[in-house]
Structure 1
Amino acid sequence: MTGTDDTTNPFGEAADPATPLTRLQELAEHHPETRAVIAANPSTYPGLLEWLSELGDPEIDGAIAARRARTAGVDPSAPSEAPVRRPTAERFAGAGAGAAASQRPAETTAETPATRAAGPARPVTPTDGSAIVTRTPDAPPNEVQPERRSTPWAGILAVAAALVVLVLGGVWIFNLPGGDDETTNAGATDPAFPPLEEDPDESGSDAPAPADTDELADAISALEAVPSSSNCEDTGPDIEAITQFAAAAAPEGTWGDPAHGDLVIDTLKDLKDECGREHAQAVVDQIIGEPNTNAALRNAIQSDMSWLEIPEIPADAQQMPGFAVAGANMACVLSGSDVVCTVVGHNLDTPEGCLPGGISLEIDSSGAAAVNCNRSANADPLLSDGQSAYNGELACTVEGTEVNCWSTESGEGFRLGPSTLELY
């Protein structure tokens, strides 16, 4: 049978209260003949009981009814005429034998004058103080016997006896040729299988706890909005959104999805581009400096801080006051204290304050990058892709038909080209 171990006794496992919950669920799924026994097992969890009750099997329903009757508050110390019965696990431990168990007579039957005459009667303990006459084994067959009092156990034992007969019948059918065809019939019309409740013996996994889906989605949205919503002055709201995202995505200090760590870095890079390196550096310093910072967040930031580093002047850069970019109608002037680049003949949207045709970006003497169309640049010689120029603490590198200029003191800069305009 698929997913089962034929070397074990499924009935014994189904009846044993010590059987793990995962095994009970497996037996219920792959051994339909054990379902009534599982229903009677006191360790069967509520979700599986509910699933069994939805199958509409009279045998299972009887076992569940008997189970509920046992837990309905019947006093086990009350006098009863019922014989001592073996526990469920003991009765079914040998169910694989089938034949021996089938020889046992039902222990509770309706009593008639004929059955009273057929054999010795069991003693009955009075419950109201009245005397009860009992017949000895050699009493005459026609001797009148007193009426027996019914007890709450009578109905329970009747159901249990019926359950035994039905289970043994299931064993007999199961052992017939073709009776093991579970892949064809088992679960064909069964309801959806219940979720397995945690087994105390199988807990303790080291896997990170899953994050709440709605909470995580909201946290991601708030994180991605940080660069555009920041006022670039107060670090508090930016830090709050970042730390709340980490709490939702890594509640135990480990990312449920490694991509969440990359998302934090991308957000901080965008924040640097929007608000400048100084603001982004302040956000990072405060997050790392907080002793209670989420471990996953701290590790993600510290694992990649290259985006915060200020590029140095390239070793092969040429010191010059200005240059033009080969292949683009663009030039830059480096005065030593600031730099301005102008592009003409572009396909960019014209920024506010600029006239159509030319756009100028600058890094001023304070190291701040901005749009300034009140200035323009016109210079030579030509620099090609990969070549660099510098003057003072300012440097520029040609990247294709674009130019990347930055301050080695503030870290702020810009990229400008016929199709590119970016401040960082």
Structure 2
Amino acid sequence: MTQDPAAQAADPTTSHAQLYELVRARPDLRPIIAENPNTYPELREWLAGLGEPEIDAALARRHGAPDSDHSTQVLPTDEFGAVHHPPVHHAPTQPVPQQPRPEFDQQVFGSPAGYAAEQQPAYTGHAAYTPGAVTDPDEGATPRRRRGGAGVLVFLLGLLTVGALAATYFLLMGNPFGDDEPAAGQPNANDSAEQDDDSEQTQQSPPGSEDDPEQSPAPEDDDEADDDQQEDDAEFERPVPDEALSITEFSSPTGNINCQLDADDLRCTVTEYNFDAPEDCEGGVTFRVSDQGPATIDCSSSVSSQTQQLQYGELTGNTDFACEANEMFFECWSQRTGEGFEIAREYYEFTSE
């Protein structure tokens, strides 16, 4: 009758080979095998290296806490003596087929660790397990002969190939380090060909067909565009920035100043004022500026109240004139001449750049 695997794992008389097979086949029995007194040291070390809490606890129980009386030593029993002299058991059944575990075999039996799986020794239930001597597969093998001769042969073939290519180049292209200038008195083939081409072109070209730099039209379009741009920039003494508004008819937030920007002039009327004004100004004082001269007072035509307002801090203008609203005054001017005026309820002042 086949013994239960769990009972085999706990049985102190289980052979090393059977414990080895159980550890590989039944990971759930590893804590029981770790606590088995017949488990050989290499197998215990491998189990301890797994880092599993149950196995570590079983190993701790197996060794037990050290006794406080260090003078007393526990003599080995017959059961623990079986570790050194295990009896031979005949397995009634074939061992359970297992998947190879190279890392387990290599760490338990001292083989070099690595990723390549080596052929594992066959374990039978007819004899106690005895680890075999670890041998290097390269030991005893006849050292391989170094293939230095093949490398030298390849190197010589490479040199011969390079030499053949260099010789072919010199034969076809000539000596690149030689004097390319022809000897004195010897005609040069390239010079002769160039002279023939020049003579043919001279014969084929009709009189007056040569390019005359004086007759070539000058690229005046781009120059004229640049000149126009420079003239436009030069004409503006006080241009407005690009982010300025384009309002041409507006009033101040209080409604006391009304302005109108036309193509020929700019006019602003102050309805109520506290400064001296000409006698002909009735219903407000009108200030005017054009591109022809300085700003003046012209009450011949006034500007009425507008629906749109120019808020404080805003700036507006058209192609020739501009106005800026401040809390203390309004300032308007001609962009081309820079002439203008500042107006408010309390005062007015003519300005110029």
Q: What TM-score do you get using the length of structure 1 for normalisation?
A: 0.26
Q: Which has the higher helix share?
A: 1
Mark the structure with the bigger radius of gyration. Answer: 2
